Amino acid sequence: MAYKESTHVNRKLIRPTLSEVQDQIGARMQRRKPVPPEQTSAENFYYIKQMQNRTPMIVVLDDGETIHGIIEWYDKSCIKVHRANLPNLLIMKTSIRYMYKENETKDGGDGNYVRDIETE
């Protein structure tokens, strides 16, 4: 068996220094926007404020039904509305289209905005 003599080339591995790597990582981190929080707690603040002030609210459901009452309690998935002379309701948040304060209703309507159209 004949062995071939191989010529070994002395190759030097070039690595960046630790400070160069840290600078590169720092530059990447500065470019990236922070991830927004999953929950801003604005909804919780709104419910607490309305509960403390006992603000009369109107809740409009997905099917168009309106419910008048005061928010007595809330949860991650539902709210409890206290109604005068009627049974209290536990309403799932997924079935709520929108809600507003009762005193924000214009002309005693149902809270839906209707634009006046002028005829020419």
For position 87, which CATH number holds?
Answer: 2.30.30.100
The total number of structural domains that make up the chain:
1
Residues contacting residue 105 through CB under 8 Å, at least 6 positions apart: 58, 111
pLDDT at position 80: 96
Residue-number span of the structural domain to which 77 is assigned: 42-102
Domain presence at residue 5: no
| 11 inside domain | no
Does 28 map to a domain?
A: no
- Phi then psi dihedrals of residue 92, to 5 deg: -70, 135
The answer to whether position 37 is within a domain reads no
pLDDT score, position 23: 80
What are the pLDDT digits (tens) for 47-103? 999 999 999 999 999 999 999 999 999 999 999 999 999 999 999 999 999 999 999
Asked whether residue 20 is assigned to any structural domain, the reply reads: no
Residues 4, 1: Cα–Cα separation, whole Å = 10
CB 104 within 8 A of CB 111: yes
Torsion (CA) 103, 75, 40, 54 in degrees, nearest 10: 30
Residue 17 maps to a domain? no
* Maximum separation of any 2 CA atoms in the chain, in Å: 107
Structural domain contains residue 1: no
Give the per-residue pLDDT at 31. Answer: 64
Look at residue 15 in the predicted model and tell me its pLDDT: 80
Q: How much is the pTM? A: 0.57
Greater model confidence, 58 or 33: 58
Does residue 81 lie within any of the structural domains? yes
Report residue 85: phi and psi, to 5°: 60, 15
Dist. CA 109–CA 120, nearest whole Å: 26
